Amino acid sequence: MNDFTPVLLMFLFVAFLVLFMLGLSLLLGPKKKSAVKGEPFETGMVPFELPGDRFSIRFYVIALLFIVFDVELVFLFPWAAVFRQLGWFGFAEMLVFIVILALGLIYAWKKGALEWE
């Protein structure tokens, strides 16, 4: 239990902070409601037409590639922290991991997924 005490304290602190900020916004926030503010539109204005344009599929492809490579790179930080304990086996494993990432990036590049027009 002593090993998890700092984690438990951090969770309690974050929960207190969230509840404190929510309570503060309820106390200090505006209270007047109107029909315009009740509309589900981000500018507060009454929408006169629905948006007709759609995003290009390239936007989503680039966003997905960013998320994939960003999440994969998160694995490099713990590896770097314990690099000396892992030895050559850990180095070889991470080298295989980086080669697979590089091959995925080269594949996406060759397919034109990174081109924006």
List Cα–Cα distances, 38 to 32, 47, 72, in angstroms: 11, 12, 41
pLDDT digits (tens, 9 = 90+) for 41-88: 666 555 666 666 777 777 888 888 888 888 887 888 888 888 888 889
pTM: 0.47
List the chain domain ranges: 2-110
pLDDT score of 45: 58
pLDDT score of 14: 96
List Cα–Cα distances, 93 to 35, 44, 88, 90, 96, in angstroms: 59, 53, 9, 5, 5
Q: With helix as H, strand as E and coil as C, how does 19-30 read?
A: HHHHHHHHHHCC
What is the separation of C-alpha 85 from the centre of its chain, rounded to a whole number of angstroms?
30
Question: Which residue matches tokens 């990174």?
Answer: 114
What architecture is domain 2-110? Up-down Bundle (1.20)
Of 8-17, 35-44, 94-103, which range is least confident?
35-44
